Structure 1
């Protein structure tokens, strides 16, 4: 390999999967140092995102156990492999300890959590938005807490803007990370649905509108699709519409993608149709739901085909992830297959 131009070696290595790169680290000290380098790790991640070369689907079972489902470029799936128990209970315990004592007259609280990366400070953050209620189920206070992995500490940051928003304003199930910010859905005092965002670097809030203009019985979902902010509107007993925001934060860039009629949903498929990815030629979209199950939906023929997965849990939620050499502590990754 010493006769190969260095730039060619770099290009070849950048196409490999993380587990193959870990094996390559044993070739020689020079390769080990290069693969562990920050520049290579970043460029490898960018190429993986652009080419979908290390794409997989993460399944979270109802008992909070994680499974990895390899997803090839030709719409082929491997077997679901159990990887590690989720740490949700540990995070909640740490949050609970941080947020005590509760304000007077408070009998309960609700919270949303979100995880993201602050590129300006090269730091991973966990954010909790907590609302406190009194015995009459009225919000008496709220708090926004941010955990910094770099400093290993929590701090309170500026609370959500309250002016112009209704009581019980949050209508998301989680805080969604995209473009350096966490986003979630809220209603203002005129019942208009908006997206509130928190930029992790500046810790400042922003807001922009959604393409939804109705006020009937719906189920709403905010997600990421193709690297864009994705907005799903489920009109119960009618259809499921999917939009993406072509330019983050610009409401005028909302673009309608597709619609699924409820009457064609497979038996057992609940009201949530979450899009995961599109097929290579764009004629199909991979959908999932909270009851478990992954389906290809043909956008032209308007029909479903269930994806048979070996080793999948009985019920789960699914999300798409990209394999990389990055670790939360900034060191190189050490991986092993079971």
Structure 2
């Protein structure tokens, strides 16, 4: 390949998987320099983003928190060897994934001060521990990418949200980590007042916005009827916004996800005429009138089902929980729902009691992006 023009060499190398490229860096100094260059990392990411990725989820087996990766094309999953020391009692949670980098949170339920946030690329095995934040790290965390950072360079951003006080005088403490500055900045009491009474839960990243599960509040415009809203955080402007959901969407529990690049809500219905979930998508991000119901999923109360999100193969991953009596407690495991066949498939992953509400899943793409240096990739 030494006689080939540079642009052709780049094009060929960009089509290789990450593991092959990591080995190729040892071929010679010129290849090492080329593969590590920001322009090549961007080219490689743009190419592989057009193909189905993998899915990363956290679960618990024999009371030990685990992180696993699922490859939908091969129908295979395996545990990840996480390079983080986890003392007894320490849990781990997947916050989000962006440009091939995972945001992870470790937390101790008995000592919130013993919690940390990490950025990790499992394909190149590079880990970055974020500086200690001013506020306790709990479970209201957001992760996204700011492609308009200073000088046109992109950077990862992490949002840490703490809510203190009692109703009706709750206040929020919001801080944002900038990868470019490698530090936290305080935004103050900026979380919308109505959202301070709700645990934000899981998040997704769509078109420069971190989006959290809906909160429900009374709306004086509609004679104080209960309305559901999404909570959005603009990563570039560092501002919160709210997005109203359609009245025709079921009013029970809602779960946020991404389907084919579109913001999605999986809404639970407990109405006598239908018990299960409705899958909705916002076909045009930011347009209220583009919300569309795609299909329904019939489920029962026993076992209980909780959606984690859509896999890279468009199947919906559920946590399923069976109650098997006072002596044995409950059994929780993962299942996949295939809309094309309207069937659930066993996922062969059993979880300990208590993980039903703590497991999360994110779509992930293999990349060369390093979590250690914000200049690694200027995404446009």
Which bin holds the TM-score, normalised by the shorter protein?
Answer: 0.7 to 0.9
* Structure 1 SS opposite 2:134: helix
Aligned residues: 307
SS at match of 2:40: helix
Distance 1:275 1:175, change over 3 A: closer
1:233 matched residue in structure 2: 267
Could you tell me which residue of structure 1 aligns to residue 75 of structure 2?
Answer: 76
Q: What is the SS of the residue equivalent to 1:79?
A: strand
SS in 2 for 1:98: coil
TM norm structure 1: 0.77
| Partner Cα separation in structure 2 for residue 29 and residue 67 of structure 1 | 35
- Give 3-state SS (helix, strand or coil) of 2:43's partner: helix
Aligned to 2:185: 155
Tell me how far 1:41 sits from its aligned partner.
0.8
- Corresponding residue SS for 2:185: strand
Q: Tell me: CA distance 1:111–1:84, structure 2 relative to 1, closer, same or farther (3 Å).
A: closer
**8 A Cα contact 2:178 2:184, kept in partner:** yes
1:110-129 aligned at under 5 Å gives the runs: 112-121=140-149, 122-129=154-161
Match of residue 248 from structure 1: 285
Q: CA deviation at 1:76?
A: 2.6
- Over the aligned positions, Cα root-mean-square deviation in angstroms equals 3.3
TM-score (norm 2): 0.69
Q: Secondary structure at the match of 1:241?
A: strand
Q: Secondary structure at the match of 2:23?
A: helix
Change (3 A) 1:68 1:84: farther
Q: Where does structure 1 lack aligned partners over 5 or more consecutive residues?
A: 101-108, 334-338
Instruction: Indicate if the aligned counterparts of 1:66 and 1:84 stay in contact, CA closer than 8 A.
Output: no
The Cα shift of 1:248 comes to 1.5
1:325 is aligned to 2:365: no
Whole-angstrom distance in 2 between the partners of 1:318 and 1:188: 27
SS in 2 for 1:82: coil
More strand by share: 2
Question: Residue 288 in 1 paired to residue 325 in 2?
Answer: no
Task: Provide closer, same or farther for how the CA distance between residues 322 and 313 of structure 1 changes in structure 2, counting only shifts above 3 A.
Answer: farther
**Structure 2 CA distance, aligned partners of 1:110 and 1:133?**
16
Instruction: Name the structure, 1 or 2, with higher relative contact order (CA <8 Å, separation 6+).
Output: 2
Structure 2: runs of 5+ lacking an equivalent:
85-91, 93-104, 108-114, 118-129, 220-225, 322-331
Map of 2:106 onto structure 1: 88
What residue number does 1:60 align with? 58
- Aligned partner of 1:106 in structure 2 is none
Q: What is the match of residue 50 of structure 1?
A: 50
Alignment deviations for residues 166-206 of structure 1 (CA, whole Å, 9 cap, x no partner): 47543531443221122222334312112232211112333
Q: Measure, in 2, the Cα distance between the counterparts of 1:96 and 1:111.
A: 15
Relative to structure 1, is the Cα distance of residues 278 and 322 closer, same or farther in structure 2, using a 3 angstrom cutoff?
Answer: closer
8 A Cα contact 2:257 2:263, kept in partner? yes
SS at 2:116 equivalent: helix
**1:104 is matched with which residue?**
none
CA distance in 2, matches of 1:233, 1:253: 16
Structure 1 residue 313 displacement after superposition: 6.2
Say which of 280, 290, 303 aligns to 2:343.
303
- C-alpha distance in 2, partners of 1:307/1:118? 35
